[in-house]
Amino acid sequence: MPFLGQDWRSPGWRWIKTEDGWKPYGPCGSECEDENSCLNSNIHSVILDNDDKIYSTDCESASKKRKKDHFRNNVNSQWFCREKWIYVHKESTKERHGYCTLGEAFNRLDFSSAIQDIRRFNYVVKLLQLIAKSQLTSLSGAAQKNYFNVLDKIVGKVLEDQYNPRLIKDLLQDLSSTLCILTSEGKSLLVGNINIWICRLETILLWQEQLSNLQMTKQVSRGLTLSDLPLCLLNNILHRFSDGRDIITLGQVTPTLYVLSENRQLWRKLCQYHFSEKQFCRHLILTEKGHIDWKLVYFALQKCYPIKEQYGDTLKFCRHCSILFWKDYHLALLLKDTGHPCTANDPNSCFVSVSPQHFIDLFKF
């Protein structure tokens, strides 16, 4: 094992304990400098049997220790990796040893910038939700810190922009349920001190309270509003939605939108988009007049079968290079950038979109 640091024969370093943690003071063998400039009002000198002086604070209570653990894992003091691509290798070869894990991929890919792009926002949130349900314990300690860093930025963005709060509420609900189970079973299932996870759980509960108290600000506009659009355009907007809950929410804005949101053909096309004919034929629900209630059929099918996922932009995987990357379409048009150092003759034919579940499956060995 290579030696990194000062000469092992030296007496070492003197450390002092401050409110921000332990900090190096200087070599033990050197003469002490001006003690008055180094001592804090909260630091006391203790003389040991070997006449060496070390500095420590008063004994802290258990509650203060929890605050200290939480400070060391403060989400605002962490660093984000800003790589656009990573090589996904699942086994050792003569040229490369080791393999890429889910935690390493989550650390190295630039998820903190991806949430600022509205096309990638829902994709990252869905990925975090899947990790919270089943893969949280497989992350390393650094990856778990980075996970909560990204989550903190997501909550801050939602509180500021009021963008899709329902999606974040579902994520926090799944995460809090997972942490409650893991913390009750014992700290052996989690990386790090149990006090850290208790503080994180308290933070999640605080975020949930902030989102539940979120009030949508009414925007004052003197120009054209949604209600001023023709009925054909409003109907076209409703047909663009792929989530039935969004259709119901928009229908609550005005009476006109409510009538359009109850259109049977709208819900029929939504059922045909997400489910096969064999699936919804098994769950047909009829009205009193004998017609099919496609709205009720949709929500009944949603409980039994997964719906199609739709994202503005996703991670890409190059089958030729085995590289996972974010593709910047602006650079691709201007500079013909493929997003990663690809060696294929036709790189675009090697790219495949990676769904959140596919991203997790890439690292299952």
Task: Determine the angle formed by the axes of helices 194-212 and 165-185, rounding to 10 degrees.
Answer: 150
Ramachandran region of residue 290, left (φ > 0), alpha (ψ -120 to 50) or beta? left
Contacts of 57 (CB under 8 A, 6+ apart): 17, 18, 19, 42, 43, 44
Task: Record the tokens describing residue 147, joined without a space.
Answer: 């996970």
Residue where the block lists tokens 């939700």? 129
Whether residue 89 contacts residue 100, with contact meaning beta carbons closer than 8 Å, is answered with yes
- What does pTM read for this prediction? 0.70
Return the CA Rg of the chain.
28
Tokens 């509420």 belong to: 169
pLDDT of residue 206: 94
The candidate with the shortest Cα–Cα distance to 304, out of 349, 268, 274, 327, is 274
CA separation for the pair 365, 362 (Å, rounded): 8
DSSP assignments along 250-300, one per residue: HHTT-HHHHHHHT-HHHHHHHHHHHS-HHHHHTT--B-TTS-B-HHHHHHH
Write the CA distances from 276 to 14, 207, 242, integer angstroms: 70, 38, 15
Taking the CA atoms of residue 174, residue 179, residue 185 and residue 189 in that order, the dihedral angle to the nearest 10 degrees is 110
Could you give the angle at the alpha carbon of 225 between the alpha carbons of 219 and 227, nearest 5°?
A: 120
> Hey, is 22 helix, strand or coil?
strand
* Count of C-beta atoms within a 10 Å radius of residue 167: 16
pLDDT digits (tens), the chain, 365 positions: 444 545 445 556 677 778 777 777 654 434 444 444 444 444 444 434 444 444 344 444 445 555 545 545 554 444 444 567 888 876 666 665 556 788 888 888 888 888 988 899 999 999 999 999 988 888 888 888 889 999 999 999 999 988 889 899 999 999 999 888 887 765 557 777 788 888 999 999 999 999 999 887 776 667 788 888 899 999 999 999 988 999 999 999 889 999 999 999 999 999 999 988 888 778 888 877 778 889 999 999 988 888 888 888 899 998 888 888 888 776 666 667 777 778 888 888 888 999 999 999 888 76
Please tell me the distance from the alpha carbon of residue 140 to that of residue 131, in angstroms, as a whole number. 13
Which residue intervals of 39-86 are DSSP H helices?
Answer: 62-72
Contact 175, 144 (CB under 8 A): no
Find tokens 């663009």 and name the residue. Answer: 240
For residue 105 the two structure tokens come to 């991929």
Residues in the chain: 365
Residue 31 has what DSSP assignment? P
